[in-house]
Amino acid sequence: MLHVNENYSKIKPTYLFAEIAHRVTAHQKAHPDAKVIRLGIGDVTEPLAPSVIAAMHKAVDDEGGKGDFHGYGPEQGYAFLREKIAKVDFQDRGIDISADEILVSDGAKCDCGNIQELFGADVKIAVGDPVYPVYVDTNVMAGRHDIMLLPCTAENGFVPGPEGCEADIVYLCYPNNPTGAIATKAQLQAWVDWANAKKALILFDAAYEAFIRNPEIPRSIYECAGAKTCAIEIRSFSKTAGFTGIRCGYTVVPNELVAYNADGTPVPLRPMWTRRQTTKFNGASYITQRGAEAIYSPEGQKECKDIIDFYLGNAKLMKDALKTLGYDVTGGDDSPYLWVNVKGDSWEFFDKLLKEANVVTTPGAGFGKAGEGYIRISAFNSRANVLEAIERLKKVL
Ligand code: PLP
């Protein structure tokens, strides 16, 4: 008899975005003339940077025979991209990461989900609550059901510390989705010291690092002393450069990073991740990687920064407006997300904004128990829509 992987039946149903879509559709049906503004989903709205477009056009020509044709590429990513990443994202910032420690992928979601394959079924996992659900669901699918939740609350500034954390692997994400919280160097250093002392691992999701403008806030976990022996960093071009539809990201696995066999023998993780990727993944496309390479040119850097500044401008406008209306708001300064304390039930508040203001947000309860009482507002939208949404919120709240 064919048996299913019963772990799948233990994953919580992902009803959040389906439920939001259901409620929005019902509202639109009842009010066909309503102009609904979507500040719920975390997808970019601005077009790709001109440098990226030009590089991808050129790469299409390469593939069309006007330049060097490329078939299968290296599974770990082309050297031209890995070298630029190592230089611009790390070495130019004084961080000692080399190209061979970087593995390019088709986005951070896959890497966040797949990385757990390197570890034993019995490792203890810890995640924040509220949380980006991929960390939890992929571990549950693999049979790890007993996941420790680290509450992210107003009391701890939405940045839980390592005190009392008994896990072998902790997922940290800063700037955070959904809370928009950022972690200081001291807060991250405490986690690094904890991980090195416990022989534990930090999986650091830096998908939103490009939004950090405060020079005191680390953009990489490797800015902390000792992080190369206890942390993997996962990055995405989705929000950095509008690649949500193009699909590209990368994972850094330092050469010195190890986990252990049952007999205590250290096993380097970089060759394991390389083996995993070369076995199950055939590389991001040449055209995509040429586009990603263009992000690292001086023009590409400026263009991408301008786009992110634009989203941060949206975030600031909304944050200021909500604060003026008397709401406590976290995030939005170095992050595209606002985490708003709605002083009540998050689904009720969601419904109120949908019905009375035609504005879609995301109820915090959908990201975990500790998300109840909050909504997430995304700054990914046009300026006109953001301004219009603010006017509507002012009338309703
Ligand atoms: N990590 C976090 C925290 C995210 O919010 C997202 C996307 O929203 C991802 C990873 C996935 O990024 P990608 O588009 O590169 O798969």
- Please choose, from the candidates 362, 384, 375, the residue with its C-alpha nearest in 3D space to the C-alpha of residue 327: 375
Give the nearest ligand 1 atom to 244 CA: 14
- Please choose, from the candidates 235, 234, 240, the residue with its C-alpha nearest in 3D space to the C-alpha of residue 291: 240
- d(CA 393, CA 124) in angstroms, rounded, equals 43
How many angstroms does the Cα of residue 111 sit away from the middle of ligand 1? 10
Question: Per-residue confidence of the chain (397 residues) as pLDDT tens digits?
Answer: 999 999 999 998 777 888 999 999 999 999 999 999 999 988 999 999 999 999 999 999 999 999 899 999 999 999 999 999 999 999 999 999 999 999 999 999 999 999 999 999 999 999 999 999 999 999 999 999 999 999 999 999 999 999 999 999 999 999 999 999 999 999 999 999 999 999 999 999 999 999 999 999 999 999 999 999 999 999 999 999 999 999 999 999 999 999 999 999 999 999 999 999 999 999 999 999 999 999 999 999 999 999 999 999 999 999 999 999 999 999 999 999 999 999 999 999 999 999 999 999 999 999 999 999 999 999 999 999 999 999 999 999 9
- The answer to whether residues 41 and 378 touch, using CB atoms and an 8 Å cutoff, is yes
Give the nearest ligand 1 atom to 236 CA: 15
pLDDT at site 12: 82
Mapping DSSP onto H, E and C, the string for the chain reads CCCCCHHHHHCCCCHHHHHHHHHHHHHHHHCCCCCCEECCCCCCCCCCCHHHHHHHHHHHHHHHHHCCCCCCCCCCCCHHHHHHHHHHHHHHHCCCCCHHHEEEECCHHHHHHHHHHHCCCCCCEEEEECCCCHHHHHHHHCCCCCCEEEECCCCCCCCCCCCCCCCCEEEEECCCCCCCCCCCHHHHHHHHHHHHHHCCEEEEECCCHHHCCCCCCCCCHHHCCCHHHCEEEEEEHHHHHCCCCCCCEEEECCCCCEEECCCCCEEEHHHHHHHHHHHHCCCCCHHHHHHHHHHCCHHHHHHHHHHHHHHHHHHHHHHHHHHHCCCCEEECCCCCEEEEECCCCHHHHHHHHHHHHCEECEEHHHHCHHHCCEEEEECCCCHHHHHHHHHHHHHHC
Angle (CA) 143 188 251, round 5°:
55
Which tokens belong to 365? 């309860």
Look up tokens 């992000």; give the residue. 295
Q: Whose CA is nearest to atom 8 of ligand 1?
A: 42
How many angstroms does the Cα of residue 324 sit away from the middle of ligand 1? 31
Q: How do strand 37-38 and strand 359-360 relate by DSSP bridges?
A: parallel
For the segment 306-353, what is each residue's pLDDT rounded down to a tens digit? 999 999 999 999 999 999 999 999 999 999 999 999 999 999 999 999
- Please choose, from the candidates 216, 187, 179, 201, the residue with its C-alpha nearest in 3D space to the C-alpha of residue 329: 179
- d(CA 35, CA 20) in angstroms, rounded, equals 16
For the segment 116-137, what is each residue's pLDDT rounded down to a tens digit? 999 999 999 999 999 999 999 9
How many angstroms does the Cα of residue 3 sit away from the middle of ligand 1? 32
How many angstroms does the Cα of residue 239 sit away from the middle of ligand 1? 8
Give the nearest ligand 1 atom to 107 CA: 15
- Which protein residues touch ligand 1 with a CB less than 6 Å away? 42, 107-109, 112, 132, 173, 177, 205, 207, 236, 238, 244, 249
- d(CA 152, CA 341) in angstroms, rounded, equals 13
How many angstroms does the Cα of residue 114 sit away from the middle of ligand 1? 13
For the segment 75-123, what is each residue's pLDDT rounded down to a tens digit? 999 999 999 999 999 999 999 999 999 999 999 999 999 999 999 999 9
How many angstroms does the Cα of residue 237 sit away from the middle of ligand 1? 9
pTM of the model: 0.97
How many angstroms does the Cα of residue 207 sit away from the middle of ligand 1? 6
Total Cβ atoms within 10 A of residue 14 = 11
- d(CA 300, CA 49) in angstroms, rounded, equals 7
- Ligand 1, from 109, 138, 209: best to mutate by most atoms within 8 Å of Cβ? 109
